Chain A
Amino acid sequence: MEPRNYESSTQPESFVGQRMFILGQACPWAIAVLDAAIRNSEFITSAKVVLGSVSDISASPEQINKSVNNFAGYNKNTYPVNSTAEVINITSNDMTGMAEEARADLRLIFGLQQSQKSQTEEQGESNYVA
């Protein structure tokens, strides 16, 4: 995603025209960047919610992957790739990148949960021994 060519030869000569030209470039560009940022943050936030539904922390990696993949499908349906094609060019690579980021996030949270469980179990065992 790159800003459009600001140095276009079609840039008008009058200052009013120049200003309108800049706004015509700047506003859609800013909106596109913000859309992508919002979409990405919603994706990650929702991914955490999906993980929250995987309450059984003994879930297998396959089960977690299934949840993540279901979520990725949901996200694509919510934000059809071609809906903002005129303003922002979201490719399947971008979607893959976002899904990867969400997966990493999920792995991190899941890893922490597992670590907390292990600590609780260890503590429980030591208490029992004592």
Chain B
Amino acid sequence: MLRKLKNQIIAQNKALKSANAYRELIRQEAIIGGTLFGALPKGHRRDFFCLDEHTWIWHEEWLDHSGERQIRTTRYDVRPSGVVKIQDGNTYRAINPAEARNLREAIGLYYKRVMSELYCQPN
């Protein structure tokens, strides 16, 4: 009984450790992803990352003129029929050709940078 409980705790700890490590990897990817679009003005924070197999996130935070923090999160869903985005909980809409080109460029760079800088994989 005690051994079973011990094994359960070990398994739970292992799963928690893996989940935390996995989240940390995504966080590091997001930092690299945030640098793909050039220098940020002071007070800005930008994260861009691959959440899962078909979801990409662009998160941006900045201070407006009155010094209030503004946050905008854009989620891109990759579907076989194309890419749609949802911004700050609004409805889904298809991305326009210019945005599609920018997103494509960003994903290509993201893959190269993350693979070489975080996972030490040559491209």
Contact residues of A with B, CB < 8 Å? Answer: 1-3, 6, 15-16, 18-20, 22-23, 25-27, 29-31, 33-38, 41-42, 45
| A15-B100 in contact (CB<8A) | no
Partner of B119, one of A3, A16, A31, A41: A16
The residues in B between 7 and 60 inclusive whose CB is less than 8 angstroms from any CB of A are 18, 21-22, 25-26, 50, 52-54, 56
- Docked CA distance A127–B54 (Å): 60
- Docked CA distance A1–B54 (Å): 14
Known contacts A20-B119, A41-B100; is-contact A15 B53 (Cβ 8 Å): no
Contact residues of B with A, CB < 8 Å? Answer: 18, 21-22, 25-26, 50, 52-54, 56, 78-80, 82-83, 95, 97, 100-101, 103-104, 107-108, 110-111, 114-115, 119, 121
Enumerate 7 A-B pairs (CB-CB under 8 Å) in ascending A order: A16-B21, A22-B53, A26-B54, A30-B103, A30-B104, A31-B104, A34-B104
Could you say which residues of chain B place their CB within 8 Å of the CB of A16?
Answer: 21, 25, 119
- Docked CA distance A25–B111 (Å): 11
Please list the 10 inter-chain residue pairs (A to B) with the smallest Cβ-Cβ separation, ordered nearest first.
A34-B104, A27-B111, A41-B97, A15-B22, A30-B78, A37-B82, A26-B53, A15-B18, A19-B25, A15-B21
- Docked CA distance A28–B112 (Å): 11
- Docked CA distance A30–B26 (Å): 17
Nearest residue in A to B104 (C-beta to C-beta)? Answer: A34
- Docked CA distance A125–B1 (Å): 98
Nearest residue in B to A25 (C-beta to C-beta)? Answer: B53
19 additional contacts (CB under 8 A) given A37-B83, A38-B104: A3-B54, A3-B80, A15-B21, A16-B21, A16-B25, A16-B119, A19-B25, A19-B26, A19-B119, A22-B52, A23-B114, A26-B78, A29-B53, A33-B83, A34-B103, A34-B104, A35-B104, A41-B97, A42-B97
Shortest CB-to-CB span from A13 to chain B, Å, is 10
Could you say which residues of chain A place their CB within 8 Å of the CB of B82?
Answer: 33, 36-37
- Docked CA distance A127–B83 (Å): 51
- Docked CA distance A6–B55 (Å): 14
| A1-B80 in contact (CB<8A) | yes
| B54-A29 in contact (CB<8A) | yes
Could you say which residues of chain B place their CB within 8 Å of the CB of A37?
Answer: 82-83, 95, 97, 100
Shortest CB-to-CB span from A30 to chain B, Å, is 5
